[in-house]
Amino acid sequence: MVGIIGSEQAPVKGKGTSVTMDDVARLAGVSRALVSLVMRGSPKVSDGRREAVLAAAARLGYRPNAMARGLASRRTRMIGVLLNELHNPFYAEIMDGIDEVAAELDYRLLIGTAGRRPRGEQEALESFLELRADGLVLVGPRLPTRDILAAAATTPVVVVARGINSPAVDSITNDERAGARLVVRHLVELGHRRIAHVDGGRGAGAAARRSGYREAMRELGLVREIRVVPGDYTDIAGVRAAVRLLESGDLPTGVFAANDIVAAGLVDRLEEAGLRVPHDLSVVGYDNTFLAALHHMSLTTIDQPRPEMGRRAIRALVERVEAGRTAPMHVRVSPSLVVRSSTGPPPGG
């Protein structure tokens, strides 16, 4: 699905007739070329003529057509933004930062979503390119790297929340391994040893979080306690993981969920089974979305500066588009642990 935020359309004159530059030129008594110069903000037009053209445009309700202007200038001032999904507030909070800076810099946004489907992402990508977007921001994409690099061969690309090692693509990521290690150390400091991880499957950053969990468990002498429950970045994955743990008859005392959404599903199912968090089992999420701060959740989690990641992505992209930067920019932000009431000492600890 692709939609446009802040798009410009020529308003309607009469019954379905679009106002054109020729209409403005006739009313102002000037040439069409002069109207074009005024609309582009050219300094070559006298103040008197500029005022006449702008007055005529205002009277007719004329606004320049963004697509036609882009064809003439080879720039559309449109940026394609691919969001992995809309259900996870993590992506929406990154989008807040993207939207803020795009508005400041006078860029319109084409928004595409795919519901975690690589094929849907590919279709959105193709739509962006067909609409001549000046650049692309891919947030948590599941696309194969080769497809991302193919797009980068024709237009600037910034990837957010997924590491990609290429000089042709910029990236804004969180140190996922470091975040996972913070989770394990926090639980161990509380006295936990039996710590399980519900992973994020094929989601962006999931492999690094899983690796960080394993590394920390080994370093802290808990290699025999390593337990990874397959999952995904969804609340349903959290529910299924809880069922699996409950049916195993061998509950851990602490669980590191792949993200806040997974943690929410996990806690909901555990509490339905009569368990109390954190008295019977501690739970930690990842992302520090608004869900984690809700009073009934009060979830201990790893913070990523979501809006700032979005802001950095747009600024990096515009540097490539407008300044012609070719050197790669790979920004890795440091995670931090936000402790709330979903974690405590293990039962009997």
- Tell me what the mean pLDDT of segment 222-246 comes to: 97
As a whole number of angstroms, the distance between CA 181 and CA 114 comes to 31
Shared-domain flag, residues 182 and 300? yes
- Domain count for the chain: 3
Mean pLDDT, rounded, for 303-307: 94
**284 and 138 both lie in a single domain:** no
Q: Judge whether 35 lies within some domain.
A: yes
Domain assignment present for residue 320? The answer is yes
**163, 283: one domain:** no
Whether residue 115 lies inside any domain: the answer is yes
Of residues 88 and 138, more confidently modeled? 138
The whole-number pLDDT of residue 41 equals 67
d(CA 184, CA 75): 48
CATH number at residue 39: 1.10.260.40
Matching residue, tokens 């409950």: 246
127: domain CATH number is 3.40.50.2300
Q: Is 294 exposed, middle or buried (0-12, 13-18, 19+ CB in 10 A)?
A: exposed
How high is the pLDDT of residue 14?
A: 40
Report whether pLDDT(311) > 90: yes
Give the confidence band of 9 by pLDDT, cuts at 50, 70, 90. Answer: very low
Given a contact cutoff of 8 angstroms between Cβ atoms, the answer to whether 299 and 292 are in contact is yes
Residue ending a domain, choose from 20, 48, 72:
72
Per DSSP, 57 falls in state H
Residue 223's region, left for phi above 0, alpha for psi from -120 to 50, else beta, is alpha
Average pLDDT, integer, range 63-69: 59
Quick one: 134 and 279 in the same domain? no
Kindly state whether residue 278 falls inside one of the protein's structural domains.
yes
Task: Round to whole Å and give the CA distance between 243 and 220.
Answer: 28
User: Average pLDDT of 9-28?
Assistant: 65
Same domain, 296 and 244: yes
Radius of gyration over every alpha carbon of the chain, rounded to an integer in angstroms: 25
The residue-averaged pLDDT of 228-254 equals 96
Q: Within this chain, do residues 50 and 78 fall inside the same structural domain, yes or no?
A: no
In this predicted structure, the answer to whether residue 348 has a pLDDT above a threshold of 50 is yes
- Retrieve residue 52's tokens: 């006449």
Please check whether residues 110 and 90 belong to one and the same domain.
Answer: yes
**Same domain, yes or no: 80 and 155:** yes
Please report the DSSP string for 89-101 in residue order. HHHHHHHHHHHHH
| Single residue among 72, 89, 106 that ends a domain in this structure | 72
Q: Same structural domain for residues 107 and 148?
A: yes
Count of other CB atoms within 10 angstroms of residue 9 = 11
Q: What percent of the chain has pLDDT over 90?
A: 68
Give Cα separations from 317 to 8, 157, 306, 320 (angstroms). 22, 7, 17, 5
Q: Kindly state whether residue 285 falls inside one of the protein's structural domains.
A: yes
Helix or strand (DSSP H, E) at 257: strand 254-257
pLDDT at residue 253 tops 80: yes
Global pTM reads 0.78
- pLDDT tens for residues 142-190? 899 999 999 999 999 999 999 898 999 999 999 999 999 999 999 999 9
The answer on 192 and 292 residing in a single domain is: yes
pLDDT exceeds cutoff 70 at 335: yes
In sequence order, the 6+-apart residues with CB closer than 8 A to the CB of 144 are: 118
321 occurs within a structural domain = yes
Last residue of a domain, one of 34, 53, 72: 72
**Percent of the chain at pLDDT exceeding 70:** 90
Task: Indicate whether 299 and 317 sit together in one domain.
Answer: no
Whole domain around residue 300: which residue ranges?
176-304
| Domain identity same for 140 and 218 | no
Q: Is residue 230 domain-resident? A: yes
User: Does the pLDDT value for residue 6 go beyond 50?
Assistant: no
Q: Is residue 249 part of a domain?
A: yes
Residue 65 banded pLDDT, cuts 50, 70, 90:
low
